Amino acid sequence: MNETMLKFTDIDGKMPDKRHAQKRAQDFGEIYGDYPSAQTKQQASRCSQCGVPFCQSGCPLQNNIPDWLMLSAQGRTREAYMVSAATNSMPEICGRICPQDRLCEGSCVIEQSGHGTVSIGAVERTLSDTAWEQGWVEPIKPQREHTLSVGIIGAGPAGLAAAEALREQGWQVTIYDRHDRAGGLLIYGIPNFKLDKKIVARRIAHLEQGGVKFKLNTDIGTDLSFEDVRKQHQAVLMATGVYKARALALPGCGAGGVIEALPYLINANRRELGDKVEASTAHGKHVVVIGGGDTAMDCVRTAVREKAKSVTCLYRRDEGNMPGSARETKNAKEEGVQFKWLSAPQSLHDKDGHVTRLRATRMRLGLKEVSRRQSVSPIKNSSFDIKADMVIQALGFTPENMHTLCPDLRLTRFDTIKAHPVRFSTNIDGVFAAGDIVRGASLVVWAIREGRDAAAAIDSYLSAQMAALAAA
């Protein structure tokens, strides 16, 4: 063990500087910066270089974290980046938006021993940003070009990660997406203050330069049929994400001002991208967001930046049971969001057809459910009212009906695509699936992992096809 490491007893853990809450709430700029170079080394040197690295097991990509932390601590930044990029198609994105407290950092041994985790995500982000600035991100240069091609439906992180891996192997890749920009939820879901859109655009440009073709504004099922895509390519990857919003079924929820989370976030993201869209929709309003996941946190913080009069998050369980990242909840609190824990919506009330008030009921926690969160039940006669002239429903997403796209596709009882757990093949020969449409609404890092795994399986599938063609 070299002397650079194991400094966790001498050096306190520190996140990169965060912009002051009042200042950052005025704009949509990212709230964290990168570490200065000396601090990256210091923070990386806190790693205890465990023989069995639990951080690596906690990372869905099984990133070789102790190695790149050691290289960073030694100032071997380029090598550190190469090791981190070997297992991650978008380290600069994961470093920003992974809920590290639930993944790598939550599993860090020095966190468990009470010394505070190594800031793995922040080091990963700083390393990758440096690599882009220094021109160390290698262009995609396949050693040989093949004629066989892959059609990928969906330009979210699963589709993009698969595209890169497949191009590296020399397969021809076309990505179809119904939106006018590639990136999926990276571009139109997650707000700019968590992930600057320039970071996503840079990745897409990198793929384009590497020969990936994008066919945007192309809805498969409307503009082009699934069968057309199959005819044009020898393999197809479905990476369409999940987009059917879970809706409230409450008295009064048809009133004006009661909206869904994703269109609200898309509007805000488009505005930041310079598109001509509706002006700040929450401006001057009392906004109530229902839900406790990442989407709810993104809505409350967007409403703060749109200068809402008040922003309240209503969640039926308590803070410890929230599914979203604890770090993002803390950020929202700092920015002035009010949280009403253990409160479930009961009814919505309007004046002249527009919502004015939400009635909620207090809840009590019960036993743990299969999901490991505690069950809840309403407390009798505990109703209370909240002023609300905009109510945003952020209750999660389920898959759209995939049978409208392809009636033969086998689905699970959750309506996700049934895919092989390792090969990501479906019941249809040559058709693979990855990302949220297989796993259900999840995380970017899981979409990347599955996109990479599916690409490896498609590579084997196409190689076998090529060998068969050569033998024929």
Ligand X SMILES: Cc1cc2nc3c(=O)[nH]c(=O)nc-3n(C[C@H](O)[C@H](O)[C@H](O)COP(=O)(O)OP(=O)(O)OC[C@H]3O[C@@H](n4cnc5c(N)ncnc54)[C@H](O)[C@@H]3O)c2cc1C
Q: Which residues bind ligand X (CB under 6 A)?
A: 97-98, 153-159, 176-179, 184-185, 189-190, 194, 219-221, 239-241, 265, 294-295, 298, 405, 435-436, 442-445, 447
Say what angle helices 120-134 and 37-44 make with each other, to 10 degrees. 140
Q: Is 95 among the residues that bind ligand SF4 (CB under 6 A)?
A: yes
**Distance between CA 127 and CA 69 in Å, rounded?**
10
Contact code string over 386-425 relative to ligand SF4, x by CB under 6 A? ----------------------------------------
Which of ligand SF4, ligand X, none does residue 120 bind (CB under 5 to 8 Å by kind)? ligand SF4
Residue choice 4, 39, 48, 63 for contact with ligand SF4 (CB under 6 A) = 63
Nearer to ligand SF4, 93 or 455 (CB): 93
Which of ligand X, ligand SF4, none does residue 240 bind (CB under 5 to 8 Å by kind)? ligand X
Size of the site for ligand SF4 (CB under 6 A): 15
Nearer to ligand X, 155 or 395 (CB): 155
Amino acid at 304: V
Nearer to ligand X, 239 or 308 (CB): 239
Phi, psi dihedral angles at 143 (to 5 degrees): -70, -30
**Distance between CA 98 and CA 86 in Å, rounded?**
18
Nearer to ligand SF4, 95 or 241 (CB): 95
Nearer to ligand SF4, 16 or 121 (CB): 121
Cα Dmax for the chain: 77
CA-CA distances (angstroms) from residue 29 to 15, 164, 196, 240? Answer: 18, 28, 7, 28
- Whether residue 186 contacts residue 163, with contact meaning beta carbons closer than 8 Å, is answered with no
**Distance between CA 459 and CA 466 in Å, rounded?**
10
Residue choice 94, 186, 392, 455 for contact with ligand SF4 (CB under 6 A) = 94
Enter the tokens of residue 120: 């793995």
- Whether residue 120 contacts residue 73, with contact meaning beta carbons closer than 8 Å, is answered with no
Which of ligand SF4, ligand X, none does residue 391 bind (CB under 5 to 8 Å by kind)? none
SS (H, E, C) 83-107: HHHHHCCCHHHHHHHCCHHHCHHHH
**Distance between CA 6 and CA 114 in Å, rounded?**
14
Classify residue 88 by burial, with Cβ atoms within 10 Å: 0-12, 13-18, 19+: buried
Q: Is 121 among the residues that bind ligand SF4 (CB under 6 A)?
A: yes
Q: How far apart are the first and last CA of the chain?
A: 56
Classify residue 326 by burial, with Cβ atoms within 10 Å: 0-12, 13-18, 19+: middle
Q: Interface residues for ligand SF4 in 65-84 (CB under 6 A)?
A: 65
**Distance between CA 79 and CA 308 in Å, rounded?**
46
Nearer to ligand SF4, 53 or 183 (CB): 53
Nearer to ligand X, 12 or 180 (CB): 180
The upper half-sphere exposure of residue 154, i.e. CA atoms within 13 Å in the direction of its Cβ, equals 27
Residue choice 31, 44, 47, 59 for contact with ligand SF4 (CB under 6 A) = 59
Residue choice 71, 73, 80, 98 for contact with ligand SF4 (CB under 6 A) = 98
Minimal distance, residue 434 CB to ligand X, in Å = 7
Minimal distance, residue 180 CB to ligand X, in Å = 10
Minimal distance, residue 193 CB to ligand SF4, in Å = 18
Contact code string over 10-49 relative to ligand SF4, x by CB under 6 A? ----------------------------------------
Q: Is 88 among the residues that bind ligand SF4 (CB under 6 A)?
A: yes
Place of tokens 């990442």: 294
Q: Is 117 among the residues that bind ligand SF4 (CB under 6 A)?
A: no
Task: Report which of 288, 289, 265 is spatially closest to residue 277, judged by C-alpha positions.
Answer: 265
**Distance between CA 271 and CA 107 in Å, rounded?**
38
Q: Is 462 among the residues that bind ligand SF4 (CB under 6 A)?
A: no
Minimal distance, residue 243 CB to ligand X, in Å = 6
Residues in contact with ligand SF4 by CB under 6 A are 59, 61, 63, 65, 88, 94-95, 98, 100, 103-104, 120-121, 124, 445
